[in-house]
Amino acid sequence: MTLFLLFLKRMRNGVGRRSAINLSSRIIISAVSLVFLGIVSRKLSEEQLGIFAVLFVFYGIVSMFGGLGFGTSSIRLIPETKAKGNLSHVSDIIKYTVFVPFGILLCLMVAGFYFQKDLSDIFLKSPDLAGLIRLILISSVFYATYDRIILIMQSLQWFSKIAVLNITINILQRSLAIIFLYFGCGVKGILCGFLIGNILGCILGLILLLKYLLMPFSGYSLKQYIRFSLPFYGQGFSRFMFSRADQTFIAILFTPDKLAVYFIAKRIVSLINLVLEPLLEPMIPKLSEIKARGLSAFRENSAKIYIIFSFLAFGCACFVIFNSRIALFIVGGAKYAANTLILNILAVSVFLSFIFSVSKIGIYLYQHPKETFRISFYVGLINTSLGIVMGLYLGLAGFALAQCIGFLWGVFFIRHKYKSDWVIYEPKLDALYFLSFSAVVIIGGAANRYLLQANMDIANIIRIFALNLGLAVVFLALVFKSRIISDAFK
């Protein structure tokens, strides 16, 4: 209860309103994306949907190599520079952030064109699809540029404009993609729709930033800006290993139809973070404030937040596991509905990743920033390297399982290294979650196996969902009776 009171209190101030705008726009965009995916997954073959998923793989690769860390740096520098009234330097930083990486991205695109047949053979498993690689490369360049424009707008605290722009572009590009698809253009039409949307997003974003772009250059040092951005550039590689490397190596090692399965499952479990992250974000400054009252107060409150959020993440993961077949059918269609194992493992991995994120708060508030980067880098390295090894032997399930192992290692490493400082944890809670997840996976797996025999019409989906919701609520109510968890909510 304390958690939600803190959250509602924060919603009443300016930061809270901006968080609410951000959350609302993300919910709308996610809903639009899922509806779009539900439509195209039924119109495209598994191989074609996998080719579409490669677009998002290239989004991550191109953004990682071509961004130079300028987007994250702008969030750090622009607000404080603007607060000092130095708008000319703000203008220089914005110009650097937009145009310097864009030049590098163009060079990457040209290099990609030169190796287009090789890239097509690696990612699409056919050198004859090089034309699609060209579309993917061009779209990735404009996506990365648009993403940095959004970060600049975020640093200027234009959250309402960001929400409107993001919603507009997402609806536009997906609408164009569906129109092209229904006119018989196939996956090429979808890629063209996303390309047009990304280009229009860049144009509209630049128009909004025109005031700063038209200011005369004031001589802010590019060399100094690059030097400042290098650590953030390194963190970009860490984030890539942390969240996108699994899909990249699946695209390299397997055929596009396998990537399509993993892509759909990832989209579904991403909704867990969509629900929980806006609740967690207001807690970090609150813990920072409590930190000033001493280590004892921090330990007590961080332990309570850990228990509350671990239970919320557990509940979300259980809900996905119980309804895995329905979720796969709704988002992917009948041909993806049997892949419940992959979705269930990924749901557990999202639970563990959220526990890892909550555990890192103390490192963020008490340790040097390099320590946060180092631990995240090691977890990402485990996720990636172990995913490759296990993926070769276990397929998609190996990549999903490697995510669980990497995040689990991160949680126990933090507990072991900082157990004498500010980490408080209950071994009984670990045992409770382990036994509960085992029961959920068995019961949910049995329920979904039984549901394989059911016809997935609307009436049956509603009945099955109601039954699974009832099972999940009863199960979570039993877990909530644990004294450790129930006391934290008081």
The position carrying tokens 């409770």 is 432
Q: What is the DSSP letter of 12?
A: T
Smallest CA-to-CA distance from 98 within 225, 286, 193 is with 225
Percent helix, percent strand, percent coil in the chain, to nearest 5 = 85, 0, 15
* pLDDT of res. 161: 84
Q: Which pLDDT tens digit goes with each residue over 240-280?
A: 777 778 888 888 888 888 888 898 998 888 888 777 776 67
Q: What is the DSSP letter of 85?
A: T
Q: Is the pLDDT of residue 3 over 70?
A: no
Under DSSP, is residue 195 helix (H, G, I), strand (E, B) or coil?
A: helix
* pLDDT of res. 154: 80
Q: Which pLDDT tens digit goes with each residue over 353-364?
A: 888 888 877 776
Give the residue-averaged pLDDT of 124-143: 89
Across 69-78, 200-209, 444-453, 464-473, least confident range: 444-453
Q: Which pLDDT tens digit goes with each residue over 27-66?
A: 788 888 888 888 888 888 888 888 998 998 898 888 888 7
State the Cα–Cα distance between residues 273 and 428, nearest whole angstrom: 25
Rg value, the chain, Cα: 23
* pLDDT of res. 197: 93
Where b means 16+ CB within 10 Å and e means fewer, 472-484 reads: beebbeebeebee
Q: Is the pLDDT of residue 16 over 60?
A: no
* pLDDT of res. 195: 93
DSSP characters over 329-386: HHHH-GGGTT-HHHHHHHHHHHHHHHHHHHHTHHHHHHS-HHHHHHHHHHHHHHHHHH
Q: Which residue did the predictor score with more confidence, 257 or 420? A: 257
State the Cα–Cα distance between residues 128 and 343, nearest whole angstrom: 32
Contact present, 226 and 364 (Cβ < 8 Å): no
Q: Is the pLDDT of residue 14 over 60?
A: no
Where b means 16+ CB within 10 Å and e means fewer, 355-381 reads: bbbbbbbbbebebeeeebbebbbbbbe
Q: Is the pLDDT of residue 447 over 80?
A: no
Question: Mean pLDDT, the chain, as a whole number?
Answer: 80
Contacts of residue 294, Cβ cutoff 8 Å, sequence gap at least 6: none
Please report, rounded to a whole number, the percentage of residues in the chain having pLDDT higher than 70: 83
Across 70-79, 142-151, 264-273, least confident range: 70-79
The total of other beta-carbon atoms located within 10 Å of residue 164's CB is 14
Helix axes 245-253, 116-123, angle to 10 degrees: 90
State the Cα–Cα distance between residues 468 and 479, nearest whole angstrom: 16
Q: Which pLDDT tens digit goes with each residue over 96-129?
A: 888 888 888 999 899 989 998 988 998 888 888 8
Map out the domains of the chain as residue ranges: 44-233, 244-488
Q: Which pLDDT tens digit goes with each residue over 310-358?
A: 888 888 888 888 888 888 888 888 888 888 888 888 998 888 888 888 8
Task: Classify residue 68 as left (phi > 0), alpha (psi -120 to 50) or beta.
Answer: left
Distances (CA, A) of 287 to 204, 235, 278, 298, 360: 38, 24, 15, 7, 12
Give the residue-averaged pLDDT of 373-382: 81
The total of other beta-carbon atoms located within 10 Å of residue 191's CB is 25
Q: Is the pLDDT of residue 444 over 90?
A: no
Under DSSP, is residue 322 helix (H, G, I), strand (E, B) or coil?
A: helix
Distances (CA, A) of 486 to 313, 479, 482, 490: 15, 9, 6, 7
Q: Is the pTM of this model over 0.85?
A: no
Q: Which pLDDT tens digit goes with each residue over 161-208?
A: 888 888 899 999 999 999 998 888 888 899 999 999 999 999 999 999
* pLDDT of res. 7: 47
The total of other beta-carbon atoms located within 10 Å of residue 337's CB is 20
From the number of C-beta atoms within 10 Å of its C-beta (0-12, 13-18, 19+), residue 260 rates as buried
Where b means 16+ CB within 10 Å and e means fewer, 410-426 reads: bbeebeeebeeebbebe
DSSP characters over 216-271: PP----HHHHHHHHHHHHHHHHHHHHHHTHHHHHHHHHS-HHHHHHHHHHHHHHHH
Structure tokens at 118: 């090789």
The position carrying tokens 């130095």 is 86
Contact present, 219 and 111 (Cβ < 8 Å): no
Long-range contacts of 288-291 (CB under 8 A, 24+ apart): 288/365, 291/365, 291/366
Q: Is the pLDDT of residue 209 over 90?
A: no
pLDDT band at 1 (very low <50, low <70, confident <90, very high): very low
Q: Is the pLDDT of residue 487 over 70?
A: no
